[in-house]
Amino acid sequence: MKFQLLLTVWLFMCLSFVLVTPPTMALRFEFDNAEEIADWELGPDVTAEVKSGMLELIVGSPDSGIYFGEENWTDYRLEVRARKKDGDPYFHLFARVIEPAQDFYFMEVSYNSNTTSLFLFSGATGTEITPDPPGRPPRPNSTDTDGGDAYTIVLEVEGDTIRSFIDGKLMVEANDGTYKNGRPGLGGRTSTVWYEYVEITGPGIDEGTTSVESTGKLAVTWGALKNLR
């Protein structure tokens, strides 16, 4: 009897956890057609075109880009495969964008200092939040230089923690509580960047929040992705 009672309590707790914990979902964009970015928002002085299975992003202003998803997204993992084609020696990933080109977090890959870093922008004014020490880590050498250096890049926000990864290696981990939610985005700094795919995972992200539904791509439960860090 005691065992049955304990089992009942355990099953109830498990069921309660399932009911109250938002599922971790994933969206993936492989840029097969222009409909995939039909409802994405362009920032100032930015053009975007889907062609040859890639998203070509041309950014004419510093720290601008293209943004997607929902403003109420909180914790998520943004992964891209990207290569810088030409222009100034920088490109970016954005997280928790409140106002494009104004209020957000971003990671920067620099071909000037050959480093990578994390920034907080508020009112279009940037403050670097890369911990120092240890300071900015070196940008890895790309193993794929066909048409420009290519990397698999991840920007992750979880609570007040912001992490960046390049080719599976942790680059920067910082803590900042300024922004709790906001959209992800892709960007550059007066440069042209090619994105081969974009994947976003996190609680509550599903096919109903973007144009993925209209293009036939599906969101899937994919909680195990967090274990790949």
pLDDT in tens, 21-51: 456 689 999 999 999 999 999 999 999 999 9
Q: Which of 5, 23, 10, 167 is nearest to 82 (CA)?
A: 167
Higher pLDDT, 207 or 198: 198
**Higher pLDDT residue, 188 or 104?**
104
Residue 204 CB-density burial (10 A; 0-12 exposed, 13-18 middle, 19+ buried): middle
Token pair, residue 27, equals: 């969206």
What b-and-e string marks burial along 7-38, b requiring 16 or more CB atoms within 10 Å of the CB? eeeeeeeeeeeeeeeeebbbbbbbbeeeebbe
Q: When comparing pLDDT for 131 and 144, which is higher?
A: 131
What is the chain's mean pLDDT, rounded?
84
**Over 60: is that where the pLDDT of 74 sits?**
yes
Q: Kindly state the DSSP code that residue 162 receives in the 8-state scheme.
A: E
CATH topology of domain 23-228: Jelly Rolls (2.60.120)
Determine the average pLDDT of the residues in 127-135: 96
Distance CA 151, CA 77 (A): 16
Residue 69 pLDDT exceeds 80: yes
The per-residue pLDDT for range 83-124, each reduced to its tens digit, is: 988 887 788 999 999 999 999 999 999 888 999 999 999 999
Contacts of 85 (CB under 8 A, 6+ apart): 56, 147, 148, 191, 192, 193, 194
Instruction: Please determine, for residue 207, whether its predicted confidence score (pLDDT) is greater than 50.
Output: no
